[in-house]
Chain A
Amino acid sequence: MPIMRVEDVSKNFGGLDALKRVSFTLYEGQVKALIGPNGAGKTTLFNLISGVDRPTAGHIYFRDHDLGTLRRHEAAGLGIGRTFQHSKVFDDMTVLDNVKVGRYQRGRAGIFSSFFSLRRHRNEERQVRETAFEALKRVGLEAQAGELAGNLPMGDRHLLEIARSLATEPTVLLLDEPAAGLNNDETDRLADLVRQIRDNGVTILLVEHDMGFVMDISDEVVVLDYGKKIAEGPPLMIQNDEEVIRAYLGDDLA
């Protein structure tokens, strides 16, 4: 069943076309990868899908909601979670507190119950703490719960971002280059984690440069080049697509 439809989406930055009429569909329960050379428009597309930016033309539908009509913080409420290519953990907060922010939109405590630490606020806090800890366990960071997030090594930061997103209980998870800077072991463990998340019913869209990783875990791959979709299909087909090879290696080599 389709869960997200990207329809003829274009994005223009001051005369520069970052995306040109891109369309594809994300199906429930699949792992889909978005690949392409640097500057192909992958992160731009991520920003549109996660609602922090709007398309210049075209629509992105999540179930029946047009994401272009949402305010910037509302995508999370629909069940769209994301991680970032360049670490966006909250540096001077503890690892556990980072994940607690992930529970924000499921919480109700407002400024008054926070100020006066009302009973319902304390009950909610206890639940937030438990759920956040569960999310940390899923990515294997529970031992670092009390550390400052800024002190984590790069790979762990990405895991923390995943845990933080999982805490929002997303139905679609967007991962922006999760394997960047990881060694082989860590990449393998990440692949296991991604599969496990998928098996729990979360649909995954990821941007990644590590082709081994992409081909290993993706059900389908979309290839962008200069803002255009040049290919879409299962990994094996993509690997042998001439236009994709040309985009990656240049005309003279193909």
Chain B
Amino acid sequence: MSFDQFLQYISSGITSGSIYALTALGFTLIYNSTDIINFAQGEFVMLGGLVAISMHEWGAPLPLAFLVAVALVGIVGVIFEQLAIRPLLSAGVLAQIIVTIGASLAIRTVAMLIWGRESLPLPPFSGDSPIVILGASILPQTLWVLGLTLVIVVALQLFYRRTLTGKAVRACSVNPTAARLMGISYSRVVLLSFGLSAAISAAGGVMITPVSFMSYSAGALIGLKGFAACILGGLGNPVGAVAGGLILGILEALTVGFLPFSGSSGYKDGVAFLILLVILFARPQGLFGRRTVEKV
């Protein structure tokens, strides 16, 4: 593999890695405020992409399509929280998991009924003539994905560190009871987490669609990879989630590069799972684990 080929793989790895990072961030937001692992997270990504496609088809310019998709999926997240999560907030983990699985299947099927089974395209945000950097040609969409991901991550950090609402959310994740005593409404925080989480994941979905298309069934695998990224970076650690997503994306891309035989892109999807298992075996707190993984 030559150096510019290597760069090529890295850049495509960073592109998909950014999406895993945003999905992982979505998992983290919900996990930190409720301890729930949301098995429908990938469906938010999928919805984001498909809604943007429809908006674009109806003549909306891409930036508007992007914003509408993010807002709409954010609302879906809020409705999901109200209808399905709220009644089970204090129920056991089993019930919560089952409900998010049910939601995932329901959302996926509705998406199929609306958008059909085909993979649908979306044009890149600013043309597709590649930019040559260090001998490697890089698609402008890659820069868009990277840039927007960066903006989202920074904005989210500012929100958590600088605003009152953001601090309230953090307080709830550290100690819900104490936060409640301070007059912070836990249920509002949970609602906000679901809305934000869905919106962020949807943004990832819109960004990746020009690169890899979007279909109703794409959410499950992206969700799984987002979770693997979470575990890699340490579940509950937002910085780790982003780093984990990028690392996972790059590892996947390199797997395709180094495995010579045909069909290796099919096995690419196995990398995430393998990493998930290895990390759970060897280092369940993740590479940058902050929260200790309690063994009961």
The answer to whether A and B come from one shared complex is yes
**A14 closest partner in B (C-beta):** B292
The count of chain A contact residues (Cβ–Cβ below 8 Å) is: 3
B1 interface residue per 8 A CB criterion: no
| A14-B292 Cα distance, complex, nearest whole Å | 9
8 Å CB interface, B194-245 against A: none
Report how many A-B pairs have Cβ atoms within 8 Å: 4
The count of chain B contact residues (Cβ–Cβ below 8 Å) is: 3
Q: Mark A64-75, 1 if CB is under 8 A from B, else 0.
A: 000000001000
Chain B residues within 8 Å of A40, by CB:
none
| A233-B106 Cα distance, complex, nearest whole Å | 65
| A52-B296 Cα distance, complex, nearest whole Å | 9
| A14-B174 Cα distance, complex, nearest whole Å | 14
What's the least CB distance linking B293 to chain A, in Å? 13
Chain A interface SS verdict (over half):
loop
Q: Mark B281-296, 1 if CB is under 8 A from A, else 0.
A: 0000000000010011
8 Å CB interface, B239-296 against A: 292, 295-296
**A13 closest partner in B (C-beta):** B292
8 Å CB interface, A58-89 against B: 72
Chain B residues within 8 Å of A52, by CB:
296
Chain B interface SS verdict (over half):
loop
Chain A residues within 8 Å of B295, by CB:
72
Q: Mark A32-59, 1 if CB is under 8 A from B, else 0.
A: 0000000000000000000010000000
Chain A residues within 8 Å of B296, by CB:
52, 72
| A14-B295 Cα distance, complex, nearest whole Å | 16
| A160-B292 Cα distance, complex, nearest whole Å | 33
| A14-B296 Cα distance, complex, nearest whole Å | 17
Chain B residues within 8 Å of A72, by CB:
295-296
| A52-B295 Cα distance, complex, nearest whole Å | 10
What's the least CB distance linking B80 to chain A, in Å? 28
What's the least CB distance linking A2 to chain B, in Å? 30
| A211-B295 Cα distance, complex, nearest whole Å | 34
Chain A residues within 8 Å of B292, by CB:
14
| A85-B278 Cα distance, complex, nearest whole Å | 37
**B292 closest partner in A (C-beta):** A14
What's the least CB distance linking A39 to chain B, in Å? 14
8 Å CB interface, B169-184 against A: none
What's the least CB distance linking A188 to chain B, in Å? 33
| A72-B294 Cα distance, complex, nearest whole Å | 13
What's the least CB distance linking B272 to chain A, in Å? 30
| A55-B169 Cα distance, complex, nearest whole Å | 33
What's the least CB distance linking A172 to chain B, in Å? 22
**B290 closest partner in A (C-beta):** A14
What's the least CB distance linking A78 to chain B, in Å? 19
Chain B residues within 8 Å of A14, by CB:
292
Q: Mark A102-145, 1 if CB is under 8 A from B, else 0.
A: 00000000000000000000000000000000000000000000
What's the least CB distance linking B237 to chain A, in Å? 14
Q: Mark A6-20, 1 if CB is under 8 A from B, else 0.
A: 000000001000000
| A65-B197 Cα distance, complex, nearest whole Å | 49
8 Å CB interface, B111-141 against A: none
What's the least CB distance linking A74 to chain B, in Å? 14
| A185-B103 Cα distance, complex, nearest whole Å | 52
What's the least CB distance linking B109 to chain A, in Å? 33
| A72-B296 Cα distance, complex, nearest whole Å | 10
What's the least CB distance linking A248 to chain B, in Å? 24
| A55-B295 Cα distance, complex, nearest whole Å | 15
| A88-B184 Cα distance, complex, nearest whole Å | 29
| A36-B295 Cα distance, complex, nearest whole Å | 28
| A14-B294 Cα distance, complex, nearest whole Å | 13
| A14-B289 Cα distance, complex, nearest whole Å | 13
| A72-B158 Cα distance, complex, nearest whole Å | 42
**A52 closest partner in B (C-beta):** B296
What's the least CB distance linking A206 to chain B, in Å? 24
**A72 closest partner in B (C-beta):** B296
**B295 closest partner in A (C-beta):** A72
| A14-B285 Cα distance, complex, nearest whole Å | 14
What's the least CB distance linking A114 to chain B, in Å? 23
| 4 A-B pairs (CB sep. < 8 Å) | A14-B292, A52-B296, A72-B295, A72-B296
A-side interface residues toward B, CB under 8 Å?
Answer: 14, 52, 72
The 3 closest A-B pairs by CB, nearest first: A72-B296, A52-B296, A14-B292
